[in-house]
Chains A and B, each alone.
Chain A
Amino acid sequence: MSDVTDATTAKRGPTPDDGLRIADSKDSGPVLSADGTPLKKSLRRALRMEKLRALALIAPLLIFVMISFIIPIGEMLFRSVENQIVEDTIPDAVRELRQWDRDEDELPPEAVFEAMYHDLFTASEAKKHTRLGSRLNYEESGMSSLFRQSGRALDDLGDDYLDALEEIDPDWEEGTVWYEMMSGGEGAERDTELSSRVVGQISNLEETFLPDTDAFAPSQAISELLPRTAEAYTRFAVFEALVDERDITDRDPWENVYPALIADMKSADVSGYDGPHADMLRELKSNIDDFEAPNYKAAFAAIDEDWAAHETWATIKAHSVRYTNGYFLNAIDMKRTPDGAVSQPEDRQILVKLFQRTLKMSLIITGSCILLGYPVAWILANLPTGKANLLMILVLLPFWTSLLVRTSAWKVMLQQQGVINDTLVWLGLVGDDSRLIMMNNATGTIIAMTHILLPFMILPMYSVMQTINPSYLRAAKSLGATNWTAFWRVYFPQSIPGIGAGSILVFILAIGYYITPEIVGGTDGVFISNRIAYHISSSLNWGLAAALGSILLAVVLILYWAYDRIVGIDNVKLG
């Protein structure tokens, strides 16, 4: 313990900034330096160079920390609320759904189904519809298969219309014809607004940036005449040209163009149109009554009856926000539903329990580390240097072997046919038929992790104890204290900073530990980190993993804050 300085009273030596403060406090006109500039200014200039130089020195580390630490954490925090996938995948449907009042018992209006049809078609061409299915499946099981299956079935509606169209004019099947009709031929005025909107949608869908400069744009005339068809065709054209890099001038459009065409033609007045293939449109218009207007609602219902369920749409609407608290609700065993946050069903409530267990076991581990580490640190601090170094090597030895090896070694030790049980049985302390279960449960995790984290407790304790002058103990004894009193009232209070530092280290490490609980923890010895790892690598629910991670981070920060309030972080010595 330092017996000279104390943060509250210690007078700091002069710092360069003192000059500035002194200059600031002068009020009797500016003091000038030798060359006539105000002293304050020239001092500031001189200091700026120093500061820049200092900054340049730490810049590499700063950049490294930014890239390797702050950005990933920020990214994690962001992922835990980010939910753009829904709107990016089915943008028009989300927009249309906003108009729908889900409190009424009715299904959404036809416009929603229509938008969903085209959005889903585009998404399934881009093979992104399953991704959305998985996302919604976190919230409502069955969504994944619904989307996967629907993506495949969407073609049917268009195919039927194409067959009918071909009967009127086989040219409807020709990609070239479509291209000419939609582009309006050379020199036609283009609807660039639609084009860039579609490019934006496709960019979001593909999560890349696509330039809209060379993108396909339909002629202004056809866009006004057949708005649905133009939009559906533009999606096809933009996607195939920019993403798949195909020549679209003679490619057959996607099948969703045909229902759009019929829907448009029902109301379009083609008599004044004189763009390419205007004759085909007129011929179609004269036969339009033979076609039934597309009934998207019925088509969806035919694919899967879930589409006719109010709940499906309510779920989609509830999760169509760009930023969601859904992952955080999930992380505390609740879920975001159309009716607000509600608890998960009993059998899915595991995470809060897991958090509690993680905290409780981390505390137990920290406690055992204190109990086991304190005497060792004390001996280390009081041995002559040579012996202390040897003992230190023994303490550090575990650091030099792989974590995996150490944990596996514990497996060998702890299992029912393992070394410890064999010894106990051999000693007759435990019957052969009642061997202790010390692994694949909380006991195993606590034993192995205490061992693994012990050095993190011993080292800061040791470094603090080393600074405690032995004369304090002598002084206490000379004043009449017994060995125990001297230790408890004089030595121990001075070693608390070491305990604090060690505890913070061990606790923070423990709370986020993963490998050891995974190997020896079984089911009731695993930590929240194991769940996070599961969501990152198996269920791929990164949003939930990120929310769990954020909560863990918040818990650590809160505990750190509480520790600072109670013990004072200035009292922590890490070396």
Chain B
Amino acid sequence: MADTDNSDAFVAFERVQKSYDGESLVVKDLNLTMPKGEFLTMLGPSGSGKTTCLMMLAGFESATHGEIKIDGVSINNIPPHKRGIGMVFQNYALFPHMTIAENLSFPLEVRKIGKSDREKKIKRALDMVEMGDFGGRRPAQLSGGQQQRVALARALVFEPELVLMDEPLGALDKQLREKMQFEITDLAHNLGITTVYVTHDQTEALTMSDRVAVFDDGRIQQIDPPDVLYESPQNSFVAQFIGENNTMQGTVKQIQGKQCLVELDNGEEIDAAPVNVNKVGERTTISIRPERVEFNKERLHADAHTLKAEVLEFIYMGDIFRTRLRVAGKEDFIIKTRNAPDQRRLKPGEQIEIGWMPEDARALDA
């Protein structure tokens, strides 16, 4: 599922495997290429091997098998300090015994850059993250958000072409996180640097990235731009992991090109788009986004299949309404409707019929 075309690849993982204990693989057969300037996010649940991948790229872990290339050159035997990769750590790893300016000066000093050049670069980097006035402070004297900015500045000050970030916003509160998400992407695009960003927060991944690689169990489950990922998940893991999602189990009854008929476990039938199913009789999980469910009959095809549903709960959330239904014997079916003037508000106990465009219901692996 991962792309293997590496003609113009800047970063490339080729059949990379990693095992820490010699018994189990933490990263299983990873293939990944990134063009220059891309902002790629590795998204996945905790323990899925994202950090491990990043550490292998940075040189702190060695690949058990396979090759990692930057600019077409294998870096397996290059020590971390020669890779020239900027890195932002989850806990920022700002050196507590140095001031902010000294922290930024560190990568320049080890590169033997002259004092005046150093000062210029430090000032530029600090101004870039709007921390110009804080050069004389110590990390402990800064707030979490400020430390985050400094960590970013330090990773960028020596002008690396590749920057790695491991859950850099994990410790910030929601508002600050959103602000920083925007600033980081902005910076990355303006400077034209290639970024590998690790997170377990799907919103973050969707809003920031050019492409998102969804990790699970040491494998990339899907790698695509955010909209594709959201709208066309390739398997049920991705569908579940990204965004809210209603699932129903059933068996494929017919397949006709881009459309198939699925018999749900309670006997009702429904239209869906076949994604991971190939033949009649196969078990499948139907996945449908809550905002794609329609209960206004006029808006559905005349011959569309519909399901009976009972309203269990109506939740007013301001911009949207969230309604919980009993559908096909399951009580956790969610629909979302926009709070528009003509929008009907469903009442608990109401009996309705729901349906959707066949392409919005995706028949995935069971």
**CA A474 to CA B56, docked complex, whole Å:** 12
B97 engages A479 (CB within 8 Å) = no
A2 vs B138: C-alpha distance when bound (angstroms)? 12
| Interface flag for B364 (CB, 8 Å) | no
Our pick among A6, A469, A482, A490 for the contact of B138 (Cβ within 8 Å) is A6
Distance between Cα atoms of A481 and B80 in the complex (Å): 9
| Residues of A with C-beta under 8 A to B140 | 2-6, 9-10
Q: Within 8 Å CB of B107, what residues of A?
A: 479-481
Instruction: Encode contact with A along B85-113: 1 for CB under 8 Å, 0 otherwise.
Output: 11101111111110000000011001100
> B44-101: which have CB < 8 Å to A?
58-60, 79-87, 89-97
Nearest neighbor of A6 in chain B, beta-carbon distance: B140
A474 and B110 within 8 A (CB): no
Is A482 a contact of B81 with CB atoms below 8 Å? yes
Judged by a CB distance under 8 angstroms, whether B321 is at the interface is: no
| Distance from B299 Cβ to chain A, minimum over Cβ atoms (Å) | 53
Residues from chain B with a CB closer than 8 A to the CB of A475 are 87, 89, 93, 95
Contacts of B84 in A (CB 8 A): 480
B154 → A minimal CB distance (Å): 7
Chain B CB within 8 A of A494 CB? yes
Contact A480 B81 (CB under 8 A): yes
Given the complex, which residues of B lie within 8 Å of A478, measured CB to CB?
Answer: 58, 80-81, 83, 85-87, 155, 164
Q: Taking A478-B85, A480-B111, A485-B110 as contacts, is the C-beta distance between A493 and B60 under 8 angstroms?
A: no
Residues of B within 8 A of A474 (CB): 58, 60, 80, 87, 89, 93
Contact of A481 among B81, B85, B139 (CB under 8 A): B81
Residues of B within 8 A of A481 (CB): 81, 106-107, 110
A449-497 contacts to B (CB < 8 Å): 469, 471-472, 474-483, 485-486, 489-490, 493-494
Asked if B92 and A479 make an inter-chain contact with CB atoms under 8 angstroms apart, the answer reads no
B91 in contact with A471 (CB, 8 Å): yes
Structural contact, B141 and A9, CB atoms closer than 8 A:
yes
CB distance from A468 to the nearest CB of B (A): 9
For residue B215, CB closer than 8 A to chain A, the reply is no
Residue A67 at the chain B interface, CB threshold 8 Å: no
Contact of A1 with B by CB under 8 A: yes
CA gap between A2 and B94 in the complex, in Å: 11
Residue of A nearest to B97 (CB): A493
Cβ of B197 within 8 Å of any chain A Cβ, yes or no, is: no
Q: Is A1 a contact partner of B96 (Cβ separation < 8 A)?
A: yes
- Structural contact, B94 and A3, CB atoms closer than 8 A: yes
Residues of A within 8 A of B86 (CB): 478-479
* Interface contact A469-B91, CB-CB below 8 Å: yes
Inter-chain contact A3/B87, CB cutoff 8 Å: no
Q: How far is the CA of A46 from the CA of B188 in the complex (A)?
A: 58
Among the interface residues A472, A474, A480, A485, which one has the most CB atoms of the partner chain B within 10 A?
Answer: A480
Chain B residues, Cβ within 8 Å of A476:
95, 106
The distance in angstroms between the C-alpha atoms of A254 and B54, with both chains bound, is 101
Chain B nearest Cβ from A385, distance in angstroms: 15
B39 at interface, CB cutoff 8 A: no
User: Which residues from B are CB-within-8-Å of A493?
Assistant: 97
Residues of B within 8 A of A8 (CB): 141
B333, CB-defined interface residue at 8 Å: no
Q: Are A471 and B93 in contact (CB under 8 A)?
A: yes
Taken together as a complex, chains A and B put the C-alpha atoms of A483 and B141 apart, in Å, by 28
The residue on B at minimum CB distance from A8 is: B141
Q: Is the C-beta of B356 less than 8 angstroms from some C-beta in chain A?
A: no
CA distance A429 to B140 in the complex (A): 55
Q: Does B158 contact A (CB under 8 A)?
A: yes
What A residues does B96 contact at CB under 8 A? 1-3, 494
Quick check: B141 and A6 within 8 Å, CB to CB?
yes
CA A475 – CA B147 in complex, angstroms? Answer: 14
Minimum CB–CB distance for A25 against chain B, Å:
27
Which residues of A are found within 8 Å of B158, using beta-carbon distances?
479-480
Q: Which residue of B lies closest to A474 (CB)?
A: B60
Q: How far is the CA of A8 from the CA of B155 in the complex (A)?
A: 28
Residue in B closest to A9 when the chains form the complex, CB atoms: B141
In the complex, residue of chain B having the shortest beta-carbon distance to the beta carbon of A478: B87
Q: Which of A479, A483, A486 has the most CB of B within 10 A?
A: A479
**When the two chains form their complex, are residues A3 and B92 in contact, meaning their CB atoms are under 8 A apart?**
yes
Q: Which residue of B lies closest to A471 (CB)?
A: B93
Chain A residues, CB < 8 A from B92: 3
Establish whether residues B89 and A471, one from each chain, have CB atoms under 8 Å apart when the complex forms. Answer: yes
Closest residue of A by beta carbon distance from B95? A490
- Docked complex Cα distance between A311 and B344 (Å): 120
Contacts of A9 in B (CB 8 A): 140-141
Give the distance in Å from the alpha carbon of A10 to the alpha carbon of B141 in the complex: 8
Expressed in whole angstroms, the minimum distance between the Cβ of B262 and any Cβ of chain A is 49
Q: A292–B46 Cα gap in the complex (Å)?
A: 113
Q: In the assembly, what is the distance between CA of A481 and CA of B87, in Å? A: 13
Most chain-B CB neighbours within 10 Å: which of A475, A482, A483, A494? A475
Residue in chain A with minimal CB distance to B157: A479
Which A residue sits closest to B112, measured CB to CB? Answer: A480
Closest residue to A493 on the B side, CB-wise?
B97
Which chain B residue has the least Cβ–Cβ distance from A481? Answer: B110
In the complex, chain B residues 5-43 whose Cβ is within 8 Å of any chain A Cβ: none
Within 8 A of A (CB), among B135-149: 138-141, 147
Residues of A close to B164: CB separation below 8 A? 478
| Chain A residues, CB < 8 A from B111 | 480
**Which A residues touch B138, using CB under 8 A?**
6
- Cα separation A494 to B87 with both chains bound (whole Å): 21
Across the interface, do B93 and A469 meet the contact criterion of CB distance under 8 Å?
Answer: yes
The answer on a CB contact under 8 Å between B81 and A477 is yes
Contact of B110 among A4, A469, A480 (CB under 8 A): A480
- Which chain A residues (1-19) contact chain B, with CB distance < 8 Å? 1-6, 8-10
For residue A471, which residues in chain B have a CB less than 8 angstroms away from its CB?
Answer: 89-91, 93
CB distance from B254 to the nearest CB of A (A): 55
Which of chain B's residues have a CB closer than 8 A to the CB of A10? 140
Residues of B within 8 A of A472 (CB): 93, 95
B218: shortest Cβ distance to chain A, in Å? Answer: 22
Alpha-carbon distance between A471 and B80 when the two chains are bound, in angstroms: 13
Mask of B192-227 contacts with A, CB within 8 angstroms, 1/0: 000000000000000000000000000000000000
Residues of A within 8 A of B147 (CB): 3
Please measure, in the bound complex, the distance between the C-alpha atom of A9 and the C-alpha atom of B80, giving whole angstroms. Answer: 35
B153 to chain A, nearest CB (A): 12
* Contacts A474-B80, A482-B81 given; does A494 touch B97 at CB 8 Å: yes
Q: What is the CA–CA distance of A479 and B158 in the complex, to the nearest angstrom?
A: 8
Determine whether the beta carbon of A477 is less than 8 Å from that of B80. Answer: yes
Q: Measured between C-beta atoms, what is the minimum distance from A477 to chain B in Å?
A: 4
Task: Indicate if the CB atoms of B89 and A479 lie closer than 8 Å.
Answer: no
CA distance A376 to B58 in the complex (A): 28
Report the bound CA distance from A3 to B92 in whole Å.
10
Q: Write the nearest CB–CB distance from B173 to chain A, whole angstroms.
A: 15
- Measured CA separation A482–B111 after assembly (Å): 11
Considering the complex, which residues of chain B in the window 157-212 have a beta carbon less than 8 Å from any beta carbon of chain A?
158, 164
Contacts of A494 in B (CB 8 A): 95-97
Residues of B within 8 A of A485 (CB): 110
**A6 / chain B contacts, CB cutoff of 8 Å:** 138, 140-141
Complex Cα spacing A490 to B158, Å: 18
Point out the residue from B90, B93, B106 that lies within 8 Å of A489, measured CB to CB: B106
Q: Which residues of chain A are within 8 angstroms of B81 by Cβ–Cβ distance?
A: 477-483, 486
Assembly CA distance A489 to B158 (angstroms): 18
Name the residue on B nearest A3 (C-beta): B96
Which residue, B107, B110, B154, has most C-beta atoms of chain A within 10 A?
B110
The 20 sampled A-B contact pairs (Cβ below 8 Å) are A1-B97, A3-B94, A3-B139, A3-B140, A3-B147, A6-B141, A8-B141, A10-B140, A472-B95, A475-B89, A477-B80, A478-B81, A478-B164, A480-B81, A480-B110, A480-B158, A481-B106, A481-B110, A485-B110, A489-B106
Task: Please give 4 more A-B residue pairs, beta carbons under 8 A apart, in addition to A3-B139, A479-B155.
Answer: A3-B140, A6-B138, A469-B93, A477-B81
Interface residues of B (CB under 8 A from A): 58-60, 79-87, 89-97, 106-107, 110-111, 138-141, 147, 154-155, 158, 164
The 8 lowest CB-CB distance pairs between A and B, nearest first, are: A479-B107, A6-B140, A475-B93, A478-B87, A471-B93, A477-B80, A493-B97, A480-B110
